[in-house]
Structure 1
Amino acid sequence: MSRPMRVAVVGAGPAGIYASDILMKSGKDVEIDLFERMPAPFGLIRYGVAPDHPRIKGIVNSLHRVLDSDNLRLLGNIEIGKDIKVDELREFYDAIIFSTGATADRDLSIPGIELKGSHGAAEFVGFYDGNPDFQRDWDLSAESVAVIGVGNVGLDVARILAKTADELHVTEIPDNVFSGLGKNAASEVHVFGRRGPAQAKFTPLELKELDHSPTIEVIVDPEDIDYDAASEQARRDSKSVDLVCQTLEGYAMREPKGAPHKLYIHFFESPVEILGEDGKVRAIKTERMQLDGNGGVTGTGKFTEWPVQSVYRAVGYRSDAMPDVPFDDARAVIRNDGGHVIDESGEIVPGLYATGWIKRGPVGLIGNTKSDAKETTDMLLADFEAGRLEQPSSPSPEAIIELLKEREIAYTTWDGWYQLDAAEKALGEAEGRERKKIVEWDEMVEHAKHQA
């Protein structure tokens, strides 16, 4: 083939960018168009990481270097499946990689989950991260709040609820978020996990950082520090698990520091019902659990009602289906064999691939995303070498641009991102901070769209 291999990557978060980077470093002559539904790139790094985590947002710097490549073109504000059908996209590319991630909340089937004041954590993350897909206002009148789930998202939600608006004003939060958090009445936040400290999904640094705020008192009941044989083995097998347990033990044993906002981390409490009054949350009911010797838990039959006025479920993200792409509804992932998209009968769909959370579900950290992208791109490159990729009918890089112009799609670009980036930094500089995020979709497009 005398022309470069043309690849479309759908989703400009870390998964899509890492896959693009690996392809460009493969030694093959390749050109990549990175499609993104949002006007701006970076996915959950921009819209899923709490604003008071600049260390994690530093990942953007490495992603920037990839997107600066001459062989990579960002095309944003384009929804594949709506603006351009998947079958249409195949006319322009040798291969398509789906890396659309997961932004919806997983369901939690307990009575009362539908009550007013019961929220998915992803909804709240979307609010405080200024995601234009989510609402601008948030009811923060609850004085006592429950967070279900002992992972990093649950910690983020709990920490944001327990901090003051002034503490967060130094970050990139937009004005509507600062105003909303300024009305936050929460003085108690209760985080619930059904198993023990050794089974918590926190990362050690996230858990330690929880205590850095002078306004937050982290409280762990010494009765909740319990391990069975499997838990002790998990500590020996994983330094990370052991560090989490050590930190929790420290919280349980120390003297109170007298901070005004109390953040309780409860283990062995399994939420069984959200109780309501007049259609609103009034309490959460949990069953006390006990370790079974194998790292699992069994119920004790002892129930507790905790008076709270709102509940956030942080039990995981869920991916949405892509139109015209085989999807496993039970697992909420694109059907795949580890990289290739497959149909319901298990047959490979030529030229279609998946990577990241849309491929394996919302688990793992950045390192997992990189190895995941390697697995997928290895399959793609093997198919290319073996001549298994179908030739597109319109492989010219300009052909897709002509289609976008024909359909009058106001697409955004990488040069446009630099303009949006500069605008956000200018807004922040005026208030003595690094950046203030622009939250309105149309305003983002206006800054970042392709200039004819």
Structure 2
Amino acid sequence: MTHRVAIVGAGPSGFYAADGMLRARPDLHIDIIDRLPTPYGLVRAGVAPDHQGTKAIVRQFERLLAQPDVRFAGNLEIGRDLTWDELNEAYDAVIVATGMTIDRRLGIPGEDLPHVWGSWRFVAWLNGHPDFRTGPDLSAVRSVAVIGNGNVALDVARLLAKSPEEMARSDIVPEAGAAIAAAPLTDIYVIGRRGPEHASFTNNELAEMGRLTRAVAVTDAAGLDAAPPASDPTPERLRKAKNLDILKGFAANQAGAKPLTVHFLFGAAPVAIHAAEIELSTGRLPADLVVTCIGYEGLPFPRREDVFPVGWARRGPTGTIPTNRAESHAVAQEVLAFLKERDPKSGPDILPAAIDAAGWHRIDKQEVAAGAAAGRPRVKLTDWQALLDVAQAD
């Protein structure tokens, strides 16, 4: 009899944890459980649809799903179909890889207005998450305020600023792509509370903002001579210094040189949101849509010796997808050390009927076929029942 491990959450950190355990213990039985009928978590629902190279990591995860003792169990929700206690009783260890999917609040007046969207909800809509099928009304949106100085803020600004031709090879939901293309956008403001030397953009993503065909990136040269914090590790200082160089290039650009202008504003803290504008510590700006990109929160899970959080559930919403690999492999070693001291539990399989890997492959096949017909990587199924119908088809 072998040990059984449940991984709750079929995103990158969960798959990397499975990979780390199987490298040392290929005899383990691993069940990867997710509330969605589709695996891959943020790779499918959170990575920007125009960054297909980032999404290619799923090929590695597919190889894991093909292993005989790895089982995908989709459309199972903890609290609805199973309890945490049931998992702990049935499995020798439980890995929590549920991530964080609740948009953090600004804590200012007006953030509950209908034109204020959190980045998770906004990007999930663009990516066809079945919980977020309806997006904001963009038909009269001319000015957008994007609050945040990380890559998610860049994703939101870039996806709104790109032309339909630039998005042609993405897997953005067609309805969302059409809504953005038809919007009368003229200005996007990327707003940071701190100075440019503190921005957490990665260099490639920031530089990409300077290569858009219908949008020009601009900023104020004031403050761009600041030095990155001396207390930062050397790689961080180098990244921030390169960001400052890229921003200096933006400072030489002219607003209005292209149909759409992306303004990078620093040292501007949001104070309040109004019907068609945002109030900052530095003044007011027009804003028909506000997208907050200030981080996420997660749902609670049990804290006990046989429960091992990983990824964002462990460290919070920081880092990129590759960041998860080393951490997940380290957690895998913790799990293996824990199992080494314990005999395997015996008992029946407690998982109710679920969408298995074969069901996911039916969804995948249909989406890719629809994409091929449209000249895209895939056209996603976005309706819960449609996903289940395809997955469960004979």
Alignment TM-score, normalising by the size of structure 2:
0.93
Q: Evaluate the alpha carbon distance shift between residue 450 and residue 76 of structure 1 in structure 2; reply closer, same or farther with a 3 A threshold.
A: farther
Report which structure shows greater RCO (CA 8 Å, sep ≥6). 2
Q: Given the superposition, is the C-alpha separation of residues 190 and 224 from structure 1 closer, same or farther in structure 2, using an over 3 Å criterion?
A: farther
Q: Which amino acid letter does the alignment assign opposite residue 243 of structure 1?
A: K
Residues 96-105 or 83-92, more deviating: 83-92
- Tell me what 1:7 maps to: 5
The CA deviation at 1:393 is: 4.0
239-248 vs 138-147, which moves further: 239-248
Deviates more, 1:156-165 or 1:187-196: 156-165
Partner in structure 1 of residue 313 of structure 2: 358
User: What whole-Å deviation, never above 9, does each CA across 1:95-138 have from its counterpart, x for those lacking one?
Assistant: 11110011110111112212231221111111111110113242
Q: Aligned partner of 1:285: which letter?
A: E
- Bigger drift between 176-185 and 242-251 goes to 176-185
Looking at structure 2, the residues matched to 138 and 311 of structure 1 have their Cα atoms a distance apart, in angstroms, of 10
1:319 to 266, 278, 298: 298
Greater share of strand: 1
8 Å CA contact 1:219–1:251 kept in 2: the answer is: yes
Deviation at 1:271, TM superposition (A): 1.4
Distance 1:420 1:114 in 2: 35
- The residue aligned with 1:332 is none
User: Residues of 1 paired with 2:35 and 2:84: CA distance?
Assistant: 14
Partner of 1:120: 118
Q: Which residue of 2 aligns with 1:218?
A: 217
Selected match of 1:284 from 278, 281, 298: 278
In 1: Cα distance, 2:172 partner to 2:201 partner = 24
Is residue 262 from structure 1 mapped to residue 215 from structure 2 by the alignment? Answer: no
Q: CA deviation at 1:285?
A: 1.8
Cα 1:236–1:28 change in 2 (3 A) is closer
Larger Rg: 1
What one-letter code is carried by the residue in structure 1 that aligns with 2:251?
Answer: A
Corresponding residue to 1:443 among 374, 386, 390? 386
Q: Does 1:36 align with 2:34?
A: yes
> Over the residues paired in the alignment, what is the CA RMSD in angstroms?
2.2
Matched, 1:370 2:368: no
Give yes or no for contact 2:142–2:186 (8 Å, CA) kept in 1: yes
Give 1:29 shift. 2.5
Structure 1 runs not aligned, ≥5 long: 288-302, 326-340, 342-348
Q: 1:363 to 1:443 in 2, by over 3 A?
A: same
CA distance in 1: counterparts of 2:46 and 2:235, whole angstroms? 32
Shift of 1:319: 1.0
Deviation at 1:170, TM superposition (A): 3.0
Residues 232 and 242 of structure 1: is their aligned pair in 2 closer, same or farther, counting only changes over 3 Å?
farther
**Structure 2 counterpart of 1:178:** 177
CA distance in 1, matches of 2:359, 2:105: 37
The SS at the match of 1:438 is coil
**How far apart are the structure 2 equivalents of 1:234 and 1:246?**
19
Change (3 A) 1:430 1:367: closer
Distance in 2 of aligned mates of 1:210 and 1:84: 44
Match of 1:250 in 2: 249
The 5-angstrom pairing of residues 51-70 of structure 1 reads 51-70=49-68
Separation (CA, whole Å) in 2 of partners of 1:414 and 1:143: 43
Matches within 5 A, 1:359-398: 359-387=314-342, 391-394=344-347
Cα distance in structure 2, aligned partners of 1:251 and 1:62: 37
Given the alignment of the two structures, is residue 412 of structure 1 paired with residue 355 of structure 2, yes or no? yes
Seen in structure 2, the aligned counterparts of structure 1 residues 216 and 78 have a Cα distance that, compared at 3 Å, is same
Please state how far the C-alpha of 1:421 moved relative to its aligned partner. Answer: 1.1
Taking a change above 3 Å as real, the CA distance of residues 195 and 34 of structure 1, as seen in their structure-2 partners, is: same
Q: Could you list the per-position Cα deviations for residues 380-439 of structure 1 after superposition, in whole angstroms to 9, with x for gaps in the alignment?
A: 11111222x7x5341x5xx235xx1xxxx4x21112222211101111111222211111
Change in Cα spacing, 1:96 to 1:124, as seen in structure 2 (3 Å) is same
Aligned residues: 393
Deviation at residue 356 of structure 1 after TM alignment: 0.9
- Show structure 2 runs of 5+ residues with no match: none
1:234 Cα shift? 6.7
Cα distance in 1 between the residues matched to 2:305 and 2:232: 44
Q: In 2 relative to 1, CA 400–238 (structure 1 residues): closer, same or farther, beyond 3 Å?
A: same
C-alpha separation in 2, matches of 1:234 and 1:272: 32
* Cα deviation, residue 212, structure 1: 2.5
- 2:204 corresponds to which residue? 205
Distance 1:234 1:382 in 2: 32
The TM-score, its normalising length taken from structure 1, stands at 0.82
